[in-house]
Amino acid sequence: MTHFRTRSRALGAGLLAVALALPAAAQVRPGGGGFGGSSNNPPASDDAFLYHVLRRTTFGPTTESLAEIRAMGADAWLWRQLHPQTIDDAVLDARLRSELPPMDLVADEGHPIATGSVQLAHLPMALSQVGPGPAVQNVTRGLSLLEGVDYTVDYQVGVPTERVITFLPARMGITWSNNDNVLVDYRSNEYQWGELSYEFLQRSMSSNKQLEAVMTQFWENHFDTSIEHGGNDDQWHEWALMEAQEDAAFRANAFGRFRDLLEISAKSAAMMWFLDNYQNTVRMSNENYARELLELHSLSVDCGYDQFDVEQVARIFSGWSASYFARVPPDPCGPGEVPPACDPNDYVEGGFLFDRGAHDLLPKPNPSDPDNVRPTVLGTTFPAGQGLAEGLRVLDIVSEHPCTAQFISRKLINLFVMDDPTEEYVDRIATEYLAADGDTREVLWAIFKSPEFRDPANFGGKIKQPLEQTLSTLRAVEGQVNTSPRGFYDGYEWHDMFWVVWSQGQQLFRFGIPTGYPEVGGGWISSNGLLERWQYADGLMFSTPRPGAEISTDPMAVLQRLRLTDADAILDHYSRLILGGKLSDERRQILRPLLVNPGSGRFEPADPGQTWRLRETISNMLGFPESIKQ
């Protein structure tokens, strides 16, 4: 059989197959029943509530989103955000497609732009004729060669040339170490991570599907994986592909059933790598994934399981891996195929591999095991020989468990409402979770309709994460990101937007602790962190449009577009976007003298010093404590 691997931002059909069709209840517009539950909506004219909705369900208000929610009303706006397939994001999608080459490895069934047969020593020169030439060591990496032997190789180069991948079938006795192929990437492996981060940040900052972007980040953090787990930089291309696939699946299912999200994570190559489950076999058990599945992904700490359950769940998930880690290329039997032409032990779904030969086929618990402490695992038994179905059944059990309903409901309340909810509030949302079979869309609607979400006492009280702070500031002042994906990581020169998130303690796709980052404010308050936030805001406001500027702002152009010339109206405009409209008279008296012409007491657009005063005023507003809250 022909072996080849194709890896893309778009996962295999199996992993992305969770339906996006609207549930029947979702067809009803807000005010007509929606997902059920009563509406406690403040009056449509209550701007404070509209600011609150935007600050909690987007990466920061913008002039456009504020106008949109005022026109639609809060409930209709939220309903639409919960159904992102109704929102047009074609402009952003087209821009990212033009900027980002697909994260593919082009296989022998792809569309080559150059093929040939040359001696190995001449290969770099041959490849350099169709794109930037790779270093010789990149071509020969992974080969086992005999000294004094002149090897000849066939080659095939894929498109686009910005991401040229070479596919080299073995010939004349060459031994290849990478599934019978050698992959050559003309670009630094760091660029793959930079491009992944660039797309993630651009979608978070610029997408019209803002709630989808917020929930994508939530699931990425909940099912945390790290691109740096073990290994070295030479493998970052592989890891970036894994992370890109996982991110695409979370984004496509941001409002899906929690059970389906669990399966996306469980079958993710990034998760199998991060928690070492690719090493979990019948011969050598590894409990890392099993433990975190129960403790961090579903049931939570000390709720509904014990160490015996962890040990048995590890046995259940033995053999769950990814095709990237296969010792030999997976070769599942297709229709009409029988061994030895194929391997009946392999099951492949996208990048997911279930290796039945590495799976513990004995019953769980095993009645003949003298170390058994009880006859069930997670309250049930698993007969011998069930294979892949055992793991899927575990995902069913934990997703339906009341402990999981409590845990996920609490985390979503932390994200959107408050850090310290009452147990009654958590119970109420958990009841909705169980009634809706873990449907995230319905759980969120229950939260958004709850009195607690709409209580002014809970407005503006949550500390922003560094990512939220960085993006909300950019969105409020209409900052422009003036870089290409390739410039996002250039040697060791980090892009400003990326570095400011990193410097505040939040690394995209590189947090090596499986807990993920905290959703509550206490994890983000430190003197150094606050200083970094203020320095970022101050530097941003004095970053002017110029050649080579990575991030720039032009607040005078914004005011001219909005036709704002009155000093108080300008302060009101930025206070709505930065402070949630909470600009006290005392603060206004501090800012107004900074903004106006000292001679006339008015905002003077033609005054040469007015641009500097405007920038200083916004910078000072960004330094108020309310700016780091939402």
Three-class SS state of 65 = helix
- Tell whether the model's pLDDT for residue 143 goes beyond 70: no
Digit-coded pLDDT (tens) for 54-72:
999 999 999 999 999 999 9
pLDDT at 147: 53
The pTM of this model reads 0.81
Question: What is the H or E stretch that residue 394 is in?
Answer: helix 388-399
pLDDT at 198: 83
Question: What is the H or E stretch that residue 126 is in?
Answer: helix 123-128
Q: From the CA atom positions of the chain, what is the Rg in Å?
A: 27
Task: Looking at mean pLDDT, say which of 18-32, 237-251, 487-501 comes out highest.
Answer: 237-251
Six-digit token string for 103:
């994260």
Six-digit token string for 254:
């941001």
pLDDT at 532: 86
pLDDT at 150: 57
Q: What is the mean pLDDT of residues 127-147?
A: 46
- Give the DSSP letter string of 252-316: HTTTSBHHHHHHHHHT-HHHHHHTTGGG--SSS---HHHHHIIIIISS-TTSS--HHHHHHHHHH
- Buried b / exposed e across 422-446, counting CB within 10 Å, b at 16+? eeebbebbbebbbebebbbbbbbbb
- Residue 86 DSSP code: G
pLDDT at 195: 76
* Nearest partner of 80 among 209, 207, 203, judged by Cα: 209
Question: Confidence class of residue 462 from pLDDT cuts 50, 70 and 90?
Answer: very high
Digit-coded pLDDT (tens) for 80-122:
999 999 999 999 999 888 777 555 433 223 333 455 566 656 6
Task: State residue 490 phi and psi, 5-degree precision.
Answer: -130, 95
- As a whole-number percent, the residues of the chain with pLDDT over 70 amount to 71
Task: State residue 383 phi and psi, 5-degree precision.
Answer: -60, 165
Question: Confidence class of residue 193 from pLDDT cuts 50, 70 and 90?
Answer: confident
Task: Looking at mean pLDDT, say which of 57-61, 123-127, 351-355, 470-474 comes out highest.
Answer: 57-61
pLDDT at 517: 94
Question: Confidence class of residue 158 from pLDDT cuts 50, 70 and 90?
Answer: very low
Digit-coded pLDDT (tens) for 443-457:
999 999 999 999 999
Mean pLDDT (the chain) is 79
